[in-house]
Structure 1
Amino acid sequence: MPSLGLALVLLVSLVSPTSSCTEQEKSSLHQLLAGLSRDGGLTASWRHDTDCCAWEGITCNQDMKVTDVSLTSLGLEGAISPFLGNLTGLLRLNLSRNLLTGGLPPELVSSSSILVLDVSFNRLTGGLSELPSSTPARPLQVLNISSNLFTGSLPSTTWEAMKSLVVLNASSNRFTGQIPTTPCVSAPSLAVIELSFNQLSGNIPPGLSNCSALKLLSAGYNNLSGTLPDALFKVTSLEHLSLPNNWLVGDLGGITKLINLVTLDLGGNEFSGNIPESIGDLKSLEELHLEHNSMSGVLPTGLSNCTNLVTIDLNSNQFSGELTKVNFVSLSNLRKLDLLFNNFTGTVPESIYSCSKLTALRLSYNPFHGQLSEKIGNLKSLSFLSLANISLTNITRTLQILSSSRSLTTLYLGFNFLHETMPEDVSTDGFKNLQVLYINHCSLSGKIPDWLSKLPNLGMLFLQGNQLTGPIPEWISSLHFLFCLDISNNSLTGEIPSALMEMPMLESDNTTPPKVFFELPVWNKNKFMQYLMPSAFPKALNLAMNNFSGMIPEEIGQLQGLFSLNLSSNRLSGQIPEQICNLTNLQMLDLSDNHLTGTIPVALKNLHFLSRFNISNNDLEGSIPNVGQFSTFPNSSFGGNPKLCGPMVANHCGSAEAGLVSIDPIKQNGSEVIIFMTAFVVFFGVGVLYDQKILARHWLKTCNCYHRPSCDMI
C-alpha cells in the first residue's frame, strides 16, 4: 500500500499543472500594493503565503498565469505601478472608479499582452507618453482613460503601434490640441473615438475619413470650430455622431449621406440653414439633437420618413411655419419632442397626439394659437408637458382636459390665459402624480384654489405673477412634499399663517423630495444651471410683492431646511425675530421694503452660508453687525433705514449725527425686484447636472431671454 500511494503521488505530479502563480507575478502584484496609500482592504487578501490566483480581483488561466486584474470601485489611493507590465499573460487591467493619482505608466500602454486597459474615473495627471515610432505592433484593443485629469496633446506616434485598437475613450480630461487622425490610418478596426469634455480645438480633421470602420465619433463640449468637412460624410459606417456644444458652423449639407446614423447630436453650436428634405434618408435615426443653434425654415416632410425616431430636440432655434408638413402619425416610436423657443405658428397639429409613446412634450414659447385639443388625452404615458406662452385660453377647460393625463409629473402652463379667473373647482383625479406645477405670470384673478390641496405629491408650486387675492390657505401644510413655493407678485393679504411654518419638507434639511427625473432638462431663467430632477432645486419660500401684514412669525425658525426666504415688498411690521437665526442653511434672505423695526439680530452672523441679504427700506435701528459675511454685503442691502449705523452706511455709530442722517433709499423698480427674486436659483448650484462641465456660454448664447418674457424655469 505505501508503494501504491507513492506511485499515485508521482502520477498526479506529472499530469497536474503548476498549482499556483509564479513568484515573479506575485511580486509584480505586490509592487502595486506597495504603491498604494489606501489599499481598499487588499492587504487582507493579498497575503504572501497564499496563491495570488485566489486573491481578490485576480483571475488566472489554466496555466496559472494572471490574465485579469479587476480592482474597480475600491477607493484605492496612490500610484499605478509600472511593474504590472511584467505580467506577461495579463489580458485585461481594470482599475476604474478609484482615487488613483500620478501618471499612466507607459509600460502598460506598450504591454505585449494587454488587450483592455481601463483606468477611467480616477485622478491621474500628466500627459500620455509617446511611444517610439520603432515600437512593434501592440495588441491593445480598448483604451479607456476617461474622467481623469490628463493634460497636453493626445500623442501622435503612439497610435502607430496600436494596430488592433477598436475603442479609444479619452473623454472628460483636459487634453488640448486637435483631434488625432493617426489611429484612423494605423488601426483599420477602430470603431469608437470618444473625446468629449476636453479642451480640444481646431477643425474636424478630414483625415477621419480614413476611419472606415468607425461607428461612434463623440467630441462634444470642446472648442472645435469650422464646418463639418465633406470627407467626414464618406464614413458611412458611422452610427453615432455627437459633437454638441462646440463652435461649429455651416449647414447640415451632406449629413444625410451618413445613412446608418442612429444618433445625430449637433446641439449647442452655431449651425444655420434648414433641415434638408433628404433627412428622410436616415431610416435608422433614433436621436435628433439640433437644439441651441441658429437653424431656421420649415420642418421638412422628409422627417416623417424617420420612423424610428425616439427623440426630436429642436429647442432654441429659429424654425418657423406650421408643423403640418410633418406627419407625426408615422413617428409611432417618438417619446420626446422639444420645440421650445422657436417661431412655429398655427395650431398644434393633432397628429402629435397620435404619438402614443410620448413621455415628454415641450411646445413652450412659440406663437401658436387656439385651445388645447382633447386628443392630448391619448398620451397615456405623458409625464412632462410644457405649454408656456403659446397663447392658450380657457384655463378651466385646459385643466379639465389635462386631468385625464394621469402620468403627468411636470406641468408648465405659465404666460397663458391672460386676465382669466383661477378656477375654484377642478377634477384632480389625473393629477395625483403631479410634482411640479407652473401657472405663473398669467394675471389670473381669484384665490389660491382649494383643489391644489388634493395633489398629494406636489413638491414645487409656482403661482407668481398673477392677481390672486385673499390669504394663504391653512391647508398648505397638508402638502407633505411641498418644498418650493413661489406666490410672489400677487395681491395676497392677511398675516403669514402658522400653517406655512409646519411644512414637513421645509422643517428639516434631512428630508428630501422623491428623486424622480425630469423627462427633459429644466433650466433656470438665465440658463446658468440645468436641472434633471425636481429634488435638485433649492428649498425656497417666496412671498414677495404681496400685501401681507402683521409680524414675521417666530415659528419661522422651524423651517430649518430653507435655502431661500423672500418676504420683501409687503407690509410686515415688528422686529426681525431672533428665531430666523436657526435657519442655518439660508443662502438668500430678503426682508426689504417692509415696515420692520428694532435692531438687526446679531445672531444672524451664524448664518454662514448667507450670500444674498437685503433689509433695505425698513425702519430698523442700531448698529449693523460688522462680523462674518456682513462685511461683504453691499451698502444697498441696508439702505433706506435712517436709524441704522455702521461702516457700510453713511451714518457712523457713536457720532453726534447718529440717527439723524438720512440714507438715500435704494428703491428697486418692479423688474429689478423680480430679477432679484428669481436670481436665487442662479446662485444655488445644488442641482444634479447633466454634467458638471456644461459651460454657461453654451446656454447664454441661445436663451435669448433678454427679448422674451421672463423665462423663470423652462
Structure 2
Amino acid sequence: MSILCLVLVLMLSSASSTSCCTERENNCLLQFLAGLSQDGGLAASWRLGTDCCSWEGITCSSMVSKDAMVTDVLLASKRLEGSISPALGRLPGLLRLNLSHNSLSGGLPSEVMSSGSIIILDVSFNSLGRILPLSPPLTTGLKLPLQLCLNSVTTNSVGAFPLDLEIAPGSESSRLATTTFVGLFQTNSSMLSTSIECLSFPNDNLHGTLEGENVIKLGKLATLDLGENNFSGNIPESIGQLNRLEELLLNNNKMYGGIPSTLSNCTSLITINLRSNNFSGELVNVNFSNLPNLKALDLLWNNFSGKIPETIYSCSNLTALRLSSNKFQGQLSKGLGNLKSLSFLSLSYNNLTNITNALQILRSSSSLTTLLIGRNFMNERILDDDNIDGFDNLQVLSQIACSLYMEKYLDDISNNNLTGEIPTALVQMPMLRSEKSAVQVQLHPRAFQLPIYSLTSLLQYRKANAFPIMLDLGSNKFTGLIPPEIGQLKGLLELNLSANKLYGDIPQSICNLTNLLTLDLSSNKLSGTIPAALKNLNFLTRFNISYNDLEGPIPTEGQLSTFTDCFIGNPKLCGPMLSHRCSSAKAVPAPASTLSTGEFSDKVIFGITVGLFFALGVLLDQMVFSRMNIPDDGHYSNPSKFRVNLPLLELVCTL
C-alpha cells in the first residue's frame, strides 16, 4: 500500500510539473499585457515561451493532464495603466478577475462582461469610462453567485447603466447582486431573477424610480439597499409581495409619498430605514403589529404627520426607534412602555405634548440608554413630582430648547426656562465625578443602534463614549450662587452656565476641573475677582466670562493670556487685553497699615527716586528702538497674539 501511494504521488507530481496553460491562453494574457502603458513589472515574468501558470498573478486549475486552465487573474494594486484587452474575456476557464486599485482607463469590454465563466469581477478604483454597453442585454450562464464590483465609491466614471444582466436561475445562483455603479438605474424585466436574495446598490449616485411590476419579480429578496442615491417617486404597493424581505434601506434619497399599507405584509422585516427623504402622510395605515421581528425603524428627516401609531408599540423586539424631524403631534401612549427591549429612542423636533406624561411612561423602559426628545413640549411646566425617577441605564439625554418651566426637576439640559438654584445633588452624578479615563470605561462601548447626528457640527456619533462629558445648563433662569461642590465634577470637559441669573463669586473650586476644554460663565451677575488659579486650566480652548460684574486685574499667566474678547461687559475689570489698563495700585494693592510721619516721608522719597530711574530707563529704551527701525504693529509687544486656541466640538442639538 505504501509503495502504491508513493507511485501515485510521483505520478501527480510529474503531471503537475508538466502541465501548462494552452497557447491560446498565453496569447490572451500577452494581448492584455500589450495594452498596458505601465505594466507594474509584470513583463519580468510574463514572457513568451514560458508557462503562463507560473506568471505573477495567474492561478491555474490543478488537473492531471497535459494542459491546465487559467482560473484566476489577480492583479489588484499593481500600478497598472492602460486599457483592458477584450482578450481576457476569451479565457475559457476564468472564474475570478481582479484588476482593482490601479489606473486603468477606457472601458470594460463586452467580451469580459459576457464571459460565461467569470463569477467574481472587480475593477473598482480605476478610471474606467463607460463600463457597460447599453444593448444588447448581457447574458451569463452562472452556476455560482455573481459578485460584481465595478465602481466602489464612484471612483470610475460611468454613463447610463441599464441593469440588463440575465442571470440563469439555480439553487445557488444569484444570491448576491451587489455592485456599485454610477448612472441611470433602469430595471429591465429580463434581468430580474426570482432567485436574487440581496440587491444592494448603496451610495452610487443612481437615479430613477422603483417600478412595481419589476419589484414583484424579486420574490426571494431578503435585502433591498438603495440608500444614499438620487431615487425619486413612491414606494410601490407591490412591495408587500416581498414576504421574505428583512432589510429595506431607502435612506438619503429624494423619494416621496406615503408608506403603502401593503408594507405590513412584509412580515420578515427586521430593519426599515427611510431616513432623509420627502415621505409624508400618516403612519396609521401601516399595521406594524404584523412585523414582530422589527428591530430598527428610522424615519428621521421626513414630513410624516399625525399621531404615532399604536401598532408600533406591538413590535416587542424593537430596539431602536427614531421619528425625529417630522410633524408628529399629541401625547405619547402608555403602550410605549411595552417596548422592553427599546434602547434607542429619538423623538426630537416634532410637536409632542405633556412632558410629565412622557417621563412617567419612559421611566419604565429599563433598557433605554439613549433618549433624545428636544424641541417638543414647548412652554410646558414640570411640577414637583417625586415619582419621576428610574432611567437607571440612561447614558445620553438631549432635551434641548423645549422652553420648559421646572421647579425641582433637573437634568443637564439647556435653552429652557429652568428656575431656582443649581442643586448640589449634581455632585452625586458618577459620570461627572469620575476622571476622563474612568468615564470612558463606564460608558458602554457598544455602538448605538442608530447613529446620532449633530446639526451644528454635521458629525455623527456611533458610540456613547465618543461624546464629550458636559454639563450644559446655559440659557435658563437659574439664580443663586454657583455651588462650590461643582469642583468635584472632575470628569467634566465642558461646563456651560451662561445666560442665567447667577450671582456671587466664581468659586475657587472650579480651578480643580483641570480637564476642562470649555468654561462659559458669561451673561450672569457674577461679582468679585477672577481666581488666579484659573491659569492652571491648561486645556481650555474656549473661555467666556463676559457681561458680569467682575472686578480687579485679569490674570495674565497661563492659558488665560490667550483669550482676548471674553472679558467684555465687565467695566470694573482691567488688564492688557482691555482698553481699561490696571494702575499700579490696582495691580498690586498695598496692605493696610499705620505709618508715622517719618516713615511716610522716607517712602515718598524712595518712591520718587524709583520713579525717576524708571522714567530714565523708558527714555533710553525709546532712543535705542528708534534707531533699530522695528515696526510698531504690536507683533513684538504682545507675543500672546501668536497663540491660537484649538477648535472645540460642540454638541448643541442631537437627533
TM-score exceeds 0.5:
yes
Alignment of 1:190-201 (within 5 A): 191-194=146-149, 195-201=151-157
Quickly say closer, same or farther: Cα 1:245–1:616, change in 2 above 3 A.
farther
The match for 1:411 is 371
Question: Are 1:469 and 2:419 matched, yes or no?
Answer: yes
The match for 2:215 is 256
Quickly say closer, same or farther: Cα 1:163–1:564, change in 2 above 3 A.
farther
The match for 2:598 is none
The match for 1:386 is 346
Q: Distance in 2 between matches of 1:606 and 1:80?
A: 54
Q: String of CA shifts for 1:217-244, please: whole Å, max 9, x gaps.
A: 4456x8x354545479645554323333
Residue aligned with 2:327, SS? coil
The match for 2:608 is none
Out of 470, 494, 499, the residue aligned to residue 540 of structure 1 is: 470
The match for 1:374 is 334
The match for 2:202 is 244
Asked if structure 2 preserves the Cα contact closer than 8 Å seen for 1:267 and 1:291, the reply is yes
Quickly say closer, same or farther: Cα 1:396–1:611, change in 2 above 3 A.
closer
The match for 2:238 is 278
Q: String of CA shifts for 1:56-85, please: whole Å, max 9, x gaps.
A: xxxxxxxxxxxxxxxxxxxxxxx9999999
Quickly say closer, same or farther: Cα 1:138–1:309, change in 2 above 3 A.
same
Asked if structure 1 preserves the Cα contact closer than 8 Å seen for 2:114 and 2:138, the reply is no
Question: Are 1:166 and 2:99 matched, yes or no?
Answer: no
Quickly say closer, same or farther: Cα 1:17–1:408, change in 2 above 3 A.
same
Question: Are 1:180 and 2:136 matched, yes or no?
Answer: no
Per the TM alignment, residue 298 of structure 1 is displaced from its structure 2 partner at its CA by 2.3
The match for 1:530 is 460
Asked if structure 2 preserves the Cα contact closer than 8 Å seen for 1:419 and 1:443, the reply is yes
Residue aligned with 1:535, SS? helix
Percent same amino acid among aligned pairs?
37
Q: Distance in 1 between matches of 2:200 and 2:5?
A: 58
Per the TM alignment, residue 523 of structure 1 is displaced from its structure 2 partner at its CA by 0.8
TM-score normalised to structure 1 length: 0.61
Asked if structure 1 preserves the Cα contact closer than 8 Å seen for 2:372 and 2:654, the reply is no
Q: Distance in 2 between matches of 1:313 and 1:403?
A: 27
Q: String of CA shifts for 1:200-259, please: whole Å, max 9, x gaps.
A: 444452265356665434456x8x354545479645554323333454444323552551
- Structure 2, unaligned runs of 5 or more: 18-39, 63-69, 588-646
Asked if structure 2 preserves the Cα contact closer than 8 Å seen for 1:517 and 1:533, the reply is yes
Alignment of 1:97-176 (within 5 A): 107-108=56-57, 126-127=79-80, 132-134=85-87, 137=91, 141=95, 156=108, 159=112, 164-168=117-121, 174-176=125-127
Per the TM alignment, residue 116 of structure 1 is displaced from its structure 2 partner at its CA by 7.5
Question: Are 1:337 and 2:289 matched, yes or no?
Answer: no
Alignment of 1:321-332 (within 5 A): 321-332=281-292
C-alpha RMSD of matched pairs (Å): 5.2
Asked if structure 2 preserves the Cα contact closer than 8 Å seen for 1:181 and 1:207, the reply is no
- Structure 1, unaligned runs of 5 or more: 1-7, 26-78, 92-104, 451-460, 484-502, 660-677, 683-710
Q: Which has the larger radius of gyration?
A: 2
Q: Distance in 1 between matches of 2:380 and 2:45?
A: 73
Matched pairs, number: 544
Out of 209, 225, 230, the residue aligned to residue 165 of structure 2 is: 209
Residue aligned with 2:358, SS? helix
Residue aligned with 1:369, SS? strand
Per the TM alignment, residue 505 of structure 1 is displaced from its structure 2 partner at its CA by 5.2
Residue aligned with 2:153, SS? coil
Quickly say closer, same or farther: Cα 1:562–1:408, change in 2 above 3 A.
closer
Q: Distance in 1 between matches of 2:510 and 2:399?
A: 32
| Counterpart code for 2:215 | T
Q: Distance in 2 between matches of 1:477 and 1:106?
A: 70
Q: Distance in 1 between matches of 2:415 and 2:463?
A: 24
| Counterpart code for 2:653 | D
Asked if structure 1 preserves the Cα contact closer than 8 Å seen for 2:453 and 2:461, the reply is yes
TM-score normalised to structure 2 length: 0.66
The match for 1:513 is 443
Q: Distance in 2 between matches of 1:332 and 1:201?
A: 43
Quickly say closer, same or farther: Cα 1:513–1:128, change in 2 above 3 A.
farther
Asked if structure 1 preserves the Cα contact closer than 8 Å seen for 2:331 and 2:352, the reply is yes
Out of 488, 495, 498, the residue aligned to residue 565 of structure 1 is: 495
Quickly say closer, same or farther: Cα 1:133–1:341, change in 2 above 3 A.
closer
Quickly say closer, same or farther: Cα 1:197–1:601, change in 2 above 3 A.
farther
Q: String of CA shifts for 1:99-131, please: whole Å, max 9, x gaps.
A: xxxxxx9921576778689999xxx68457766
Quickly say closer, same or farther: Cα 1:403–1:227, change in 2 above 3 A.
same
Residue aligned with 2:471, SS? strand
